[in-house]
Structure 1
Amino acid sequence: MKFKQSAQQNQRIERITPHHLIVGIDIAKFTHVARATDYRGIERGAYLSFSNDQEGFEKLFQWMQALKIQFHKTDVILGVEPTGHYWFNLALWLQEKQLELVLVNPFQVKRNKENRDNSPTKNDVKDALVIADMVKNGYYSDLYLHTGPFQALRQLVTTRDYISKQASSIVNQIYRWTDIYFPEFQQVFKDITSKTALATLAEFAHPSDLCTLTVQEVIVGWKKRLKRAGSHKVAVALLHAAQRTVGSPESVKEAKLSLSMLLQQLQLFHDQMELLKEKIHHILQTIPATKSLRSIKGIHDITLAALYSEAGDFSRFAHGNQLLRLAGLHLSENSSGIYKGQVKITKRGRPGLRKILFIAVFQMVSVNPEFRALHQHNKRVKHMTGMKSIMKLCGKLARMLVAMSKNGSDYDVCKVNSAA
């Protein structure tokens, strides 16, 4: 399929023929609703409610077969609104049956719900018909399900994001603990997650444990948990802070227990993150395009895994602009007559992909000489704002990812510099 949106739209409409039965399915957790139309939008048969299990899927299949016979149709195309994760099992089952399934955008369903009855009413039965109408008019996208290493990366990256959020929450709780019981601690250790800071909290859980110690005893305590001895200067500052602390002296035993549990959880999350990092690295090795994409300075394994988890195989795209559209980074403009509106990104796409592309470019502007030069050129010569330049470079990175994956080529400094 061509990558230009106008050509894609025409191709989608042309795929719908008079021989098609078009089925719209409104997805829910327990019970789905299906309605069918022909290529002109005339509803065929009564709607069907079916459960989200094997029995319900078989019921849907029998219902479609009966309608095909009744209305003399030879083909069927099904459209669903991807609601959360509740549509995955149905999609896999339909793929096994070799039935064509397409997706409609939930935002467009909301916008098109008044087309038939000029009413803001919303319910499952009505939404199913709206979805069928949208498929008939070509307002859908082809289904792409991650498979093989891309599905594995998607699962691992999702788990890593969850653990990362939990670890951040634990760190915030440790900051809260020190604010209450040892507020001067953060004057000694600017980063509370540093190895020496965590070793201090684990070995000397409360400032009262430090008041009777000498500098040498503190260093000996650090040696139990650190490969390298801590700084004498830091030990002196720590003891001085403990002796003049204004932290709460109440419930010391309970406070120590709480801190111990927080540190154990943080260590557990750290170990899990290391395990996930190792698994991700191993899976990336099995993807042929990885070697080429790793040659881009500033793209490390975790960033590449996150990109794969959101977009799948980059070589499936005809052009980088398709990847941009998937991320919602394509441009929109509101203009009428002599009025020219401001050009903005649409944000009609996957927010996770949009986020990781932005983060990747932000990193590359810092460490990649070519992207840093392009960023400075955009700001100084083209007078772009910093954010507008970053968005423009997101487009360049997307086109690079697709081209390098399709051609198997390595990062070419000359091609990047020629764009300045």
Structure 2
Amino acid sequence: MMYLGIDIGKNNHEAGIITEGGKKVGKSLRFSNDREGFTALLNFIGRSVPAGDDLSIGMEATGHYWIPLYSFLHEKGFKVHVINPIQSDSLRNFHIRQAKTDSIDCFLIAETLRFGNFTETQLADEDIMSLQKLARFRESLKDRCGDCKRQVIAVLDQVFPEYDTLFTDMFGESSKAFLKSCGTPEQTLEVDVKSLAALLSKASRGRHGTEKAGEIKDLAANSVGVTLCANTFAFQIRLLIEQIEFTEKQIEKIDKLLARLLKKLNSVIMTIPGVGPVTGAIILGEIKDINRFDNPKKLVAFAGIDPTVRQSGNYSGTNNRLSKRGSPYLRRAIWMSAVVAARFDPVFKAFYEKKRSEGKAYGTAIGAVARKLIYTIFAILKENKPYEVRLNPPG
């Protein structure tokens, strides 16, 4: 058996081979992260590993840079181990000089393989990986949309500070249609009531009309907003609203694709209280394989919903906060699902109300619901059986 360790970089990787006895086979190879470099690696393996000898390949899960090389080697029929970087870091600590170079690191990774005491990064199948990538991209678009909305609010606070009293949802269809056409009080006063009413009626499907148009014009006439650079502010608002609408349409497309992928997987995740298509996709994509977790406590820790413990000497903190380690995407999805479950599912609602009756704050009670929800998710996915409401469990 021979061992090939690969130190992963953004533009270049470094590969080194050792024998079963731990002896280096020649010098390491530095190769580029492209087809030419990958071909050079194959030639390096061919020159260094005698025909008929087994070869074990290992690389660290460094960011996302390892994925193309892993895919290439996997397609070529090699068995590749993706190592948790913590494992190889521990081996580096044994070296007195603790030098950090790519050529040294690739041999250390090979040594980690040789010792065999390492944990692998679990790789999901293609459908699960698609869920994760799409769901994470969706979250980035949601954040981008939120940034645009905050910018709109910041501008309106200057030019039309009274505006937030006009609509229950500042970014609903009626409000967005108005802001694209009349972003400032000055522009609003230039439009007659009839035209404004027609704009609002079309956007709201008849819910708003002449009365709302008159209300807006009255508020605009008495606004204390700044009048300097009014056209610039209006232009900025219009572009921001257009960006929000464009991003929201992209999110809708992603939601449809996520729903199709979930249907294809035929997962029981959607039967769990508070879990919808989007949160279900995030949860499955982040967990990947539930068998990675021996018990629900590890899943709680992976989501970062386990409490931190503050202790010093004889002092032990009583208001411990969430650790917020692990996957932020999973944590957000679990939290959102817990909020819904606490309102609409009888079991989780009763549990939430019990916590509140004990004097727990809202966030603390929802945190308890979130942890209970993770235990439920763990059991449902392990057994692969739909969730059932059990108001009076046996025992």
The answer to whether the superposition gives a TM-score over 0.5 is yes
Q: Distance in 2 between matches of 1:144 and 1:167?
A: 31
Who is 1:277 aligned against? 255
Q: Distance in 2 between matches of 1:40 and 1:29?
A: 31
TM-score, scaled relative to structure 1: 0.77
Who is 1:98 aligned against? 77
Higher mean C-alpha deviation, range 123-132 or range 107-116: 107-116
Identity of aligned residues (%): 23
Task: Say if 1:52 and 1:244 are closer, same or farther in 2 by CA, change over 3 A.
Answer: same
Whether the aligned pair in 2 keeps the contact of 1:295 and 1:410 (CA below 8 Å) is yes
Deviation track 1:115-169 (CA, whole Å, cap 9, x = no partner) reads 12243x322223223333333251221541431x323323322331232122112
Secondary structure (helix, strand or coil) at the match of 1:196 reads helix
Whether the aligned pair in 2 keeps the contact of 1:297 and 1:368 (CA below 8 Å) is yes
- Which one of 322, 333, 338 corresponds to residue 361 of structure 1? 338
Whether the aligned pair in 2 keeps the contact of 1:23 and 1:77 (CA below 8 Å) is yes
Ranges in structure 2 where 5+ consecutive residues have no aligned partner: none
Who is 1:249 aligned against? 227
Whether the aligned pair in 1 keeps the contact of 2:182 and 2:234 (CA below 8 Å) is no
Who is 1:52 aligned against? 33
Tell whether 2:13 aligns with 1:36.
no
Whether the aligned pair in 1 keeps the contact of 2:160 and 2:220 (CA below 8 Å) is yes
Q: Quote the offset at 1:33 in angstroms.
A: 0.9
Q: Distance in 1 between matches of 2:116 and 2:309?
A: 23
Task: Say if 1:333 and 1:50 are closer, same or farther in 2 by CA, change over 3 A.
Answer: farther
1:17-28 alignment runs, 5 A limit:
19=1, 21-28=2-9
Secondary structure (helix, strand or coil) at the match of 2:265 reads coil
Secondary structure (helix, strand or coil) at the match of 1:29 reads coil
Ranges in structure 1 where 5+ consecutive residues have no aligned partner: 1-18
Task: Say if 1:271 and 1:351 are closer, same or farther in 2 by CA, change over 3 A.
Answer: closer
Who is 1:160 aligned against? 138
Deviation track 1:246-288 (CA, whole Å, cap 9, x = no partner) reads 2232334343333322222222112222222222212211112
- Which one of 226, 236, 244 corresponds to residue 258 of structure 1? 236
Deviation track 1:1-31 (CA, whole Å, cap 9, x = no partner) reads xxxxxxxxxxxxxxxxxx3x23221111221
Who is 2:100 aligned against? 122
Whether the aligned pair in 1 keeps the contact of 2:122 and 2:292 (CA below 8 Å) is no
Who is 1:294 aligned against? 270
Aligned CA-pair RMSD = 3.8
Task: Say if 1:114 and 1:151 are closer, same or farther in 2 by CA, change over 3 A.
Answer: closer
Who is 2:380 aligned against? 404
1:144-155 alignment runs, 5 A limit:
144-147=123-126, 149-155=127-133
Whether the aligned pair in 2 keeps the contact of 1:101 and 1:143 (CA below 8 Å) is no
Whether the aligned pair in 2 keeps the contact of 1:219 and 1:229 (CA below 8 Å) is no
Secondary structure (helix, strand or coil) at the match of 1:32 reads strand
Q: Distance in 1 between matches of 2:23 and 2:366?
A: 47
Q: Distance in 2 between matches of 1:398 and 1:344?
A: 17
Whether the aligned pair in 1 keeps the contact of 2:273 and 2:337 (CA below 8 Å) is no
Q: Quote the offset at 1:329 in angstroms.
A: 6.4
Secondary structure (helix, strand or coil) at the match of 1:297 reads coil
Tell me which amino acid in the other structure corresponds to 1:105: N
1:11-410 alignment runs, 5 A limit:
19=1, 21-38=2-19, 41-69=22-50, 74-110=53-89, 112-119=91-98, 121-135=99-113, 136-147=115-126, 149-189=127-167, 191-211=169-189, 218-230=196-208, 234-289=212-267, 292-314=268-290, 320=296, 323-324=299-300, 327=303, 349-377=326-354, 394=370, 396-410=372-386
Deviation track 1:355-408 (CA, whole Å, cap 9, x = no partner) reads 433443344334333223334556767x98877776665555445334434544
Tell me which amino acid in the other structure corresponds to 1:32: H
Q: Distance in 2 between matches of 1:114 and 1:330?
A: 30
Q: Distance in 2 between matches of 1:288 and 1:40?
A: 48
Q: Distance in 1 between matches of 2:138 and 2:220?
A: 37
Q: Quote the offset at 1:299 in angstroms.
A: 0.5
Q: Distance in 1 between matches of 2:230 and 2:363?
A: 49
Q: Distance in 2 between matches of 1:388 and 1:79?
A: 43
Q: Quote the offset at 1:340 in angstroms.
A: 11
Secondary structure (helix, strand or coil) at the match of 1:285 reads helix
Whether the aligned pair in 2 keeps the contact of 1:319 and 1:403 (CA below 8 Å) is no
Task: Say if 1:377 and 1:186 are closer, same or farther in 2 by CA, change over 3 A.
Answer: closer
Tell me which amino acid in the other structure corresponds to 1:95: H
Whether the aligned pair in 1 keeps the contact of 2:342 and 2:369 (CA below 8 Å) is no
Q: Distance in 1 between matches of 2:332 and 2:216?
A: 40
Who is 1:9 aligned against? none
Q: Quote the offset at 1:206 in angstroms.
A: 2.4
Q: Quote the offset at 1:237 in angstroms.
A: 4.2
Q: Distance in 2 between matches of 1:391 and 1:246?
A: 43
